[in-house]
């Protein structure tokens, strides 16, 4: 129920359950929603729930992986600003489409920004560029 419609579409649900879940997402009244959820529970008891559990587990793993990648990019940004030259080379080797000049300019601006205690505009731009490099 809490998943976005796009993710629900990706789960192999019986047509009857799919329709019931999609209808429940439109209900605003508490009591009506409670009855619809009971109906969905009744439908779920009649089908094999293992494929649904597996799909939800895979979605959860995907979210966990995205969170780890996000933290890694944050770490890269912080290390680059701190002056880790080896990391620049590693990024350029791993992602050949990366522009060395743009990367070093963003790092330099973010470092100056930190020294002057300015708002982190360049730091955010560096993070966005790292994200762009990584995901294309």
Select, from the ranges 1-5, 32-36, 50-54, the one with the highest average predicted confidence (pLDDT).
32-36
Place of tokens 């982190």: 120
Residues ≥6 apart with Cβ < 8 Å to 45:
none
Question: What's the CATH code of the domain at 86?
Answer: 1.10.60.30
Tell me the whole-structure pTM to 2 decimals. 0.60
Q: What domain range is 77 assigned to?
A: 63-135
Number of structural domains in the chain: 2
Residues ≥6 apart with Cβ < 8 Å to 17:
40, 43, 44, 47
Residues ≥6 apart with Cβ < 8 Å to 103:
80, 88, 91, 92, 129
Tell me: do 71 and 107 sit in the same domain: yes
The model's pLDDT over 4-44, given as tens digits with 9 standing for 90+, comes to 888 888 888 888 999 999 999 999 999 999 999 999 999 99
């Amino acid at each position: 129920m809490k998943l976005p419609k796009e993710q629900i579409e990706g789960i192999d649900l019986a047509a009857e359950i799919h329709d019931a879940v999609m209808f429940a997402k439109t209900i605003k009244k508490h009591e009506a929603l409670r009855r619809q959820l009971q109906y969905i529970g009744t439908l779920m008891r009649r089908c094999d729930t293992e494929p649904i559990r597996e799909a939800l587990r895979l979605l959860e793993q995907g979210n966990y992986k995205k969170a780890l990648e996000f933290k890694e990019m944050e770490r890269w940004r912080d290390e680059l600003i701190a002056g880790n030259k080896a990391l620049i080379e590693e990024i350029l080797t791993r992602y050949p489409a990366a522009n060395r000049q743009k990367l070093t300019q963003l790092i330099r601006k973010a470092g100056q920004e930190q020294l002057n205690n300015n708002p982190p505009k360049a730091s955010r731009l560096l993070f966005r560029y790292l994200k762009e490099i990584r995901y294309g």
